Chains A and B, each alone.
Chain A
Amino acid sequence: MNARQHMIDAIRSMGARMAATSTGHGVERAPATARTDAVYAHGAAQVEQALASGVYMADFWMPHAHRINEVQALRARLAEITATSLLRRLHGDEADAIRLRLALIPHELVWSDTIHNLVTTEGKNAALTHLLKGSSYTASQALGLIEDTGYSAVSATNTAANITASGGGSPANGWNEAPSATVATRGTPSFGTAGSGQLATSSAVSFSTLATDTIKGAILLIRSSAGVAPTTAVGNTSGALYSAGLFSGGDQAVTASGTLNVTYTAGL
């Protein structure tokens, strides 16, 4: 008997002993010929972890005091001429001119803060569904603000369906979205190019603040697992809540005529 044959016999002998002992520990065995399919199941040691994370950065700007009235007048005119589809068609050039003029009015930074968010379970489920099963997915997001009224906590169990913006005392999510009296609508983020496992907004979402309010943080909504898109209407419950988070530096105040710029970077 040569060395190769010795090795083959040894392996067969070892396999027989392992089979004899392992059945006593509950390992299922089936004759190779009885197998018609291949099955792979991962064990705990084989799970590769992917942590969903995100960071919001927010800056609040106010115009110089002597130009607040001018900003208010320009914003009012802009709202007036962009209220309907027909008005937008008729006054498109004027709207562009007003936006440019607003952008040229000097503003001062009042405060700046960051939010390290939590990604909700509903958001993870929607992201996984569209990432791994999507065939006709059209991205759609909306970014809103959390206010202090009725606040108790943000949680991974928060959902879009439970969003409230009425300023109630016991909101289902543990927080209320900042109402339309504070910001007319949610913002619409746009995203740049993903790199190093991160994807950031290509431009800040800009909120024109309409009243004095205390802002605690921000939320991001995406298309739901069922494919329903979020809308920019404050308090709307369509879509899926992807993330929610609070300012690192505590509550932040906004006032009328200000501009709150928010960026978001998602990571996996």
Chain B
Amino acid sequence: MEMNELYTDIVKEYSISKHNQHNLADASIRVPGKNPSCGDEIELELKIDDGIVVDAAFTGIGCAISRASVTIMIDLIKGKTVAESKELADIFLKMATREDVCETDLEKLEDAAALQGVSNMPARVKCATMPWHTLCRALEE
């Protein structure tokens, strides 16, 4: 696979951007996410108010794929309801593991669809999915 299919312009831009990488002083939930084999280690913080994700951020260390994934995810879920966020996570996880996803659903992912390239790279799928699995765990709590 060509590197520019994995590290697309969108992935590069979000992996370098640090706009969601900080602590939330008034977070209502903090959930750790880990990929022990490659050393991605983040903490996702959400502020949920009346069933809506009012604010979100993360701290920690990760590779470009996981950083891009978590940054895009946070942009995407801010202002969405818990149910909508869960739906987005379901779509993303399906896309990353090469399950069928219809065009309308893929559009809902917006920039996160740029991470589709990892589905062709078994060694890197976990980097992209880890933030979304972490989100699912956070929303269940």
A binds B: no
> Measuring CB to CB, which residues of chain B are less than 8 angstroms from any residue of chain A?
none
